[in-house]
Structure 1
């Protein structure tokens, strides 16, 4: 059973990589996989945790893959590293014409690593807005990795 799951995961990842239809689809797919994994490992009820994690991860992955480029992710990382809890930091991307607001929450420790929740709000050029509640972990190199 475990081998079948691993094979399905590898197949899904390879299809997402090979497809390259859009960054949004790839981001949503990878976000869903990461979210499902984190949810299954975090919640006592593995199935519910995986379902919740997949939904949150898909949404966060879609937003990050669709709208956020490398410089936007650097802004989020900087906000997570330097901004006080509850203080909203805003910026605009001159290339995408999108506007962002990131509000970090209080840091906490999980198995010796720092994690921090963040609320990300995006306003697209057409006026649509998206709000995503994500979790990020500080990597060993000091960067922050959004996981859901």
Structure 2
């Protein structure tokens, strides 16, 4: 199965000068965990709910912090005509749950998430489990 058969096509793009409040509102509206960040017709990063929580809120940054200050600038991507099996392995090795999907003209055409792969009915590769690893110790004690 090709990436283009499983990916989410309708992708909203954040601007690096948007605030993290605006990005969070868009994520909530879309029920998504990540937004590509684009500037001057180029993909310059990704902003995730985790970026907002860890790089902004946990460090005391306010809701008017710019997306560029907390986004992940190293964008992992795949091509729309790649096989899902190949991309799953890459996602696992890079420990990412979603990838930007571009065409061979280097235009953003979608996003491929772990959920997209599962929902597509494609066989889930063991390599993809590398994208989800346990965190640190948790305690429910008050």
Q: Is TM more than 0.5 here?
A: no
| Larger RCO (CA within 8 A; separation ≥ 6) | 2
Q: Normalising to structure 1: TM-score of the pair?
A: 0.27
Please identify which structure carries the higher strand content: 1
Please identify which structure carries the higher helix content: 1
Q: Normalising to structure 2: TM-score of the pair?
A: 0.28
